[in-house]
């Protein structure tokens, strides 16, 4: 029977760096080893194999967040009815703060040696952690679906501009090719992903700079500065949207990179390099995206339907194919990381299959969801915002619980007990689960979602709390994400102290 932790347990003699393992001890893929399907699941990293410094965290985080999609967030932010300066402030605060949360969660990686959603078992129990793992799985599957759909839409737009036809058949072929590439790389595993990511980072970085140079003349500061300011509720709504679109989409995998560092690594260094590496590219792309969208109302409107393809409106014909390359590669780079993480989350949620099978299952769901976005949904922005808001609430609740639990701990994790229901972390503890459910219920009561009829029940607390109901001024501020994060953190910090102290009390534990 397959080990519920994946291919190997925490004390597997081969370890995650043997044949088929994901990475070398420095966290980089071994270029001289023949590619093969990675069979490892939720493995741990032995202390003797943990190397590097926090500075090395810059590159994987930077590479994972370089995408021209970041420019489209400029139009998304202005869509809340706020000015350029308000949108810029909301973007800077939302991006940096949300990735700062990733930096704090990343500290758990250097204090343990397992993926993020395994380390989460210290807070939720071994089987109790299946609930946040399931939410994490839905989030990553959702993100990979969105990225693959955007790649297909962008390809169709470029083909249409070139006169090669951008209709249904083009979208279908693009979706098949991009989806197949994503699934194959995800099934092969982390070694191939890291090799591909290196190429994608260099190519997308260079071509994105060329794009900025080509369209810089289309920025008109007079039009940008004339955009009227919005109210506080609209500013908060844009702020929360930025948080859910950036850092809160990564917190459930934030420790996956830092687990390769030695335990003695600086916690401040882990936090700083994670935050800086992840925020640098999105901040620059958002700034330019705001300038472009603020200069052209037509461009801003087009981005809502096709966030990547709309950016081709300003391009000369000769650069359309290179732009398609940079756009598709950037999206595929993010999608393959998501499909790998979603497979691990599915294993952590309790599915007892090999990791490649879990990735294949996620790939089938990804393609089905992409078909809906590309061929059925009337627009992209509505379903996208609804997806981010709805899942952003429970993810924020989990993040609050995880951060408070981490802050209360004074010792490194007992890695064996992370896999043992009768160990120090317990099986299904009531407190974190009830707290997460309560924070999620509060959060969903303070957000609205008009993109889907079956989500109209959200926002049920806006009226009773005197916030104007589902059509009032606070309806689209999405306060629920912030409320869930705060309640999860404060509740765990207040009520979970005794449980953490009991877990860290030295005691005899059964041999695995």
Give the chain's largest Cα–Cα span: 72
Q: What is the DSSP letter of 203?
A: H
12 occurs within a structural domain: no
Look at the chain and report how many structural domains it folds into.
1
pLDDT, tens digit, 9 for 90 and up, residues 201-251: 788 888 888 988 999 999 999 999 999 999 999 999 999 999 999 999 889
As a whole number of angstroms, the distance between CA 22 and CA 359 comes to 15
Are the beta carbons of 95 and 283 closer than 8 angstroms? yes
State residue 132's pLDDT score.
Answer: 94
8 occurs within a structural domain: no
State residue 30's pLDDT score.
Answer: 43
Q: Is 273 exposed, middle or buried (0-12, 13-18, 19+ CB in 10 A)?
A: buried
State residue 163's pLDDT score.
Answer: 84
207 occurs within a structural domain: yes
Question: Buried (b) or exposed (e) across 342-353, using 16+ Cβ within 10 A?
Answer: bbbbbbbbebeb
Tally of CB atoms within 10 A around 355? 26
168 occurs within a structural domain: yes
pLDDT, tens digit, 9 for 90 and up, residues 78-88: 999 999 999 99
Q: Is 317 exposed, middle or buried (0-12, 13-18, 19+ CB in 10 A)?
A: exposed
Three-state secondary structure call for residue 448: coil
State residue 405's pLDDT score.
Answer: 96
List the structure tokens of 447: 């957000």
pLDDT, tens digit, 9 for 90 and up, residues 146-168: 889 888 888 888 888 888 877 88
State residue 190's pLDDT score.
Answer: 62
133 occurs within a structural domain: yes
As a whole number of angstroms, the distance between CA 409 and CA 406 comes to 5
425 occurs within a structural domain: yes
In the chain, the N- to C-terminal Cα span, in Å, equals 18
CATH number, residue 264: 1.10.4160.10
State residue 288's pLDDT score.
Answer: 94
Given a cut of 70, the residues of the chain with pLDDT beneath it are 1-41, 190-191, 194, 197, 379-381, 451-452, 507-512
Tally of CB atoms within 10 A around 324? 23
Torsion of CA 128, 406, 141, 66, to 10 degrees: 180
State residue 342's pLDDT score.
Answer: 85
Domain extent for 115: 47-504
64 occurs within a structural domain: yes
Three-state secondary structure call for residue 365: helix
Mean pLDDT of the chain: 85
42 occurs within a structural domain: no
Total residues found in the chain within this entry: 512
Q: H or E segment at 135? A: helix 130-162
């Amino acid at each position: 029977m397959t080990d519920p932790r994946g291919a190997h347990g925490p004390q597997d003699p081969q370890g995650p760096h043997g044949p088929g393992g994901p990475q070398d001890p420095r966290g980089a893929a071994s270029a001289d080893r023949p590619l093969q399907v990675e069979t490892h699941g939720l493995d741990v990293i032995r202390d003797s194999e943990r190397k590097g410094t926090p500075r090395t965290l810059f590159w994987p985080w930077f590479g994972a967040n370089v995408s021209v999609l970041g420019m489209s967030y400029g139009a998304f932010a202005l869509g809340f009815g706020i000015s350029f300066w308000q949108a810029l402030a909301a973007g800077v605060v939302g991006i940096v703060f949300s990735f700062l949360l990733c930096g704090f969660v990343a500290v758990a990686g250097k204090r343990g040696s397992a993926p993020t959603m395994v380390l989460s078992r210290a807070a939720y129990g071994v089987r109790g952690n299946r609930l946040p793992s399931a939410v994490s799985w839905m989030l990553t599957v959702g993100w990979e679906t969105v990225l693959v759909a955007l790649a297909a839409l962008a390809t169709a737009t470029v083909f249409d501009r070139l006169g090669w036809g951008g209709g249904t058949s083009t979208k279908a072929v693009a979706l098949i090719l991009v989806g197949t590439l994503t699934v194959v790389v995800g099934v092969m595993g982390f070694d191939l992903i890291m090799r591909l990511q290196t190429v994608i980072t260099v190519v997308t970085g260079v071509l994105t700079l060329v794009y900025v140079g080509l369209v810089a003349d289309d920025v008109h500061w007079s039009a940008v500065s004339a955009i009227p300011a919005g109210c506080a509720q609209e500013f908060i709504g844009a702020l929360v949207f930025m948080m859910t679109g950036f850092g809160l989409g990564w917190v459930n995998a934030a420790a996956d990179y830092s687990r390769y560092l030695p335990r003695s690594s600086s916690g401040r260094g882990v936090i700083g390099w994670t935050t800086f590496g992840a925020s640098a590219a999105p901040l620059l792309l958002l700034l330019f995206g705001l300038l472009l969208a603020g200069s052209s109302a037509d461009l801003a409107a087009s981005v809502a339907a096709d966030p990547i393809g709309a950016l081709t409106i300003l391009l000369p014909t000769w650069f359309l194919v290179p732009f398609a390359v940079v756009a598709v590669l950037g999206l595929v780079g993010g999608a393959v990381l998501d499909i790998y993480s979603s497979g691990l989350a599915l294993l952590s949620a309790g599915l007892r299959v090999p990791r490649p099978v879990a990735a294949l299952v996620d790939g089938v769901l990804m393609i089905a969801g992409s078909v809906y976005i590309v061929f059925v949904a009337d627009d992209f922005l509505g379903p996208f915002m609804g997806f981010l808001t709805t899942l952003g609430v429970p993810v924020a609740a989990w993040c609050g619980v995880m951060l408070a639990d981490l802050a209360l701990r004074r010792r490194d994790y007992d890695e064996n007990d992370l896999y043992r229901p009768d160990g120090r972390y317990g099986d299904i503890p009531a407190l974190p689960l009830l707290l997460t459910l309560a924070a999620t219920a509060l959060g969903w009561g303070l957000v609205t979602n008009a993109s889907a009829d079956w989500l109209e029940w959200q926002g049920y607390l806006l009226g009773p709390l005197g916030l104007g109901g589902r059509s009032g001024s606070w309806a689209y501020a999405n306060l629920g994400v912030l409320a869930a994060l705060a309640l999860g953190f404060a509740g765990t910090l207040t009520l979970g102290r005794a449980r953490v102290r009991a877990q860290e009390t030295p005691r005899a534990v059964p041999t695995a």
